């Protein structure tokens, strides 16, 4: 590996942008260094499934490269719903891959990534339609965890997480409809912020009223804040709009949040099995927060203990699978047939087809009731909630395959594993996973912090406190 590829491998995006801004390194040199790392590292990890290196080099050397807060920083887009004009996209689906679909326009978020000056080198792998918390699509095969290649980096932003955790790029696009930023951040030792619903537009092709939000996975809190500053805000026609910030989010990093009242949830919310390492991660973080001057006590929203929450989430998730199937058909110009979609997603879409309008309306109403009940806990006096990010450490590759001929088994297992994350997609609140713990074997274990709606500033301030008090390692 060249000296520049080595020297910049573990620099975060903020530091790499500073190198370009100072003239010490050019955007082309940074792109070449990242490309060299991808070519050297990805054979084992299988994280970057679509590459356009020459186009990226041309963009990096162009006089038209935008001058923004991240100019020249090498970047990767998730291969899921992130339309970028002139580039292929598969959404993890075999049929769309084989059709060679090419995007005709940018989503608003991708346009903002461009305006920030990022140089996009390609796409990272995602499970088909992003529906599973592991990244093992039939279309591209499993993505592997850089910390232990027998294990998954999580999902659905698993390719993004593997690329950042291995040092290919400092940040990568990620999305989260049930934990898909936070789960891979936990499995891969990264920072993963799920913003508030309505904080970042999902237009023009997807509704901001759904479960999914988008941002990045990163290795530093300041990078997450920098990207959030660069891309936040509503798009044309958005109806769910998070409260505008009163200051840049980068100003939250290093700021004093004051003495906070923090609740601790260190067990499975509705009685499932939790790995002792995950529970210990939350407790270790709680003790560290107490040492930083905060008040921590056992407590969490009672709504999280309602096992019906999982059922309501799965009903809404099945509708998302049906919409995803229809969306694939729109991109292909014809309906999909059963053999062109993974069984776990086809069966969910079929289930949604059998739901009545009343059934769907009831699920939405139940989700709204849950959202109000959950958010009420913060309204009644708590500032933050601390939980494990996941109930289990990173699973082995293949653990979420279709076992015993039951295509829906992966979804049932996922419901237990992601019990701490999906609730906050329904509540719309911001939540961040931080790599606060390691197992005896050295596997990363994430801890989730959850704030009230619109309070990313508080999450970033406390996350920065934790990062300074207990810096996390890279590989």
- Could you give the residue numbers annotated as active site? 78, 156, 180
Contact 411, 156 (CB under 8 A): no
DSSP 245: P
Q: What Cα–Cα distance (Å) separates residue 465 from each residue in 95, 294, 404?
A: 46, 11, 46
Q: What Cα–Cα distance (Å) separates residue 148 from each residue in 151, 334, 390, 394?
A: 6, 41, 18, 9
Contact 222, 252 (CB under 8 A): no
Q: Tell me which residue of 3, 464, 40, 471 sits closest to 222, measured CA to CA.
A: 464
Rounded CA separation 179/415 (Å) = 11
As separate numbers, helices (DSSP H) first and strands (DSSP E) second, the chain gives 16, 11
Contact 142, 16 (CB under 8 A): no
Give the count of beta carbons closer than 10 Å to the beta carbon of residue 17: 25
- The three-state secondary structure class of 366 is helix
Rounded CA separation 376/378 (Å) = 5
Rounded CA separation 50/42 (Å) = 12
């Amino acid at each position: 590996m060249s000296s520049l590829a080595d020297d910049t491998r573990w620099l975060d995006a903020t530091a790499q942008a500073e190198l370009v801004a100072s003239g010490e390194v050019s955007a082309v040199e940074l792109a070449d260094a990242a490309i060299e790392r991808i070519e050297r590292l990805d054979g084992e990890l299988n994280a970057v499934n679509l590459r356009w290196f020459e186009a990226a080099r041309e963009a990096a050397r162009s006089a038209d490269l935008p001058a923004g807060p991240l100019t020249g920083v090498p970047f990767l887009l998730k291969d899921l719903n992130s339309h970028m004009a002139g580039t292929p996209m598969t959404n993890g689906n075999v049929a769309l891959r084989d059709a060679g679909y090419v995007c005709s326009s940018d989503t608003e978020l991708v346009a903002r990534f461009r305006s920030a000056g990022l140089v996009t080198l390609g796409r990272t792998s995602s499970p088909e339609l992003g529906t599973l918390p592991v990244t093992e699509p039939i279309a591209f095969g499993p993505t592997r965890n850089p910390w232990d290649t027998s294990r998954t980096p999580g999902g659905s932003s698993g390719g993004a997480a593997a690329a950042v955790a291995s040092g290919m790029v400092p940040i990568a696009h990620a999305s989260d409809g049930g934990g898909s930023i936070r789960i891979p951040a936990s499995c891969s030792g990264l920072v993963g912020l799920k913003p508030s619903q309505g904080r970042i537009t999902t237009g023009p092709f997807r509704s901001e009223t759904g479960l999914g939000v988008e941002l990045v996975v990163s290795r530093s809190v300041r990078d997450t804040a920098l990207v959030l500053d660069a891309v936040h805000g509503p798009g044309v026609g958005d109806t769910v709009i998070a409260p505008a910030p009163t200051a840049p989010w980068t100003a939250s990093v290093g700021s004093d949040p004051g003495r906070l009242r923090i609740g601790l949830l260190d067990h499975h919310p509705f009685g499932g099995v939790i790995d002792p390492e995950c529970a210990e991660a939350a407790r270790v973080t709680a003790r560290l927060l107490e040492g930083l001057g905060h008040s921590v006590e056992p407590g969490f929203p009672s709504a999280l203990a309602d096992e019906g929450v999982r059922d309501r989430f799965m009903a809404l998730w099945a509708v998302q699978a049906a919409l995803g199937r229809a969306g694939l058909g729109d991109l292909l110009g014809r309906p999909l047939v059963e053999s062109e979609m993974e069984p776990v997603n086809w069966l969910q879409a079929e289930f949604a087809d059998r739901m009545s309008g009343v059934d769907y309306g009831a699920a939405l109403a139940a989700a709204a009731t849950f959202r109000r009940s959950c958010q009420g806990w913060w309204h009644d006096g708590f500032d933050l909630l601390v939980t494990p990010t996941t109930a289990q450490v990173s699973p082995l590759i293949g653990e979420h395959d279709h076992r015993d001929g039951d295509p829906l088994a992966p979804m049932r297992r996922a419901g237990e594993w992601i019990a701490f994350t999906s609730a906050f997609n329904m509540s719309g609140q911001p939540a961040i996973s931080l790599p606060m713990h390691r197992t005896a074997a050295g596997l990363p274990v994430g801890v989730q912090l959850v704030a009230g709606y619109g309070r990313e500033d508080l999450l970033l301030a406390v996350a920065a406190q934790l990062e300074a008090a207990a810096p996390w390692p890279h590989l």
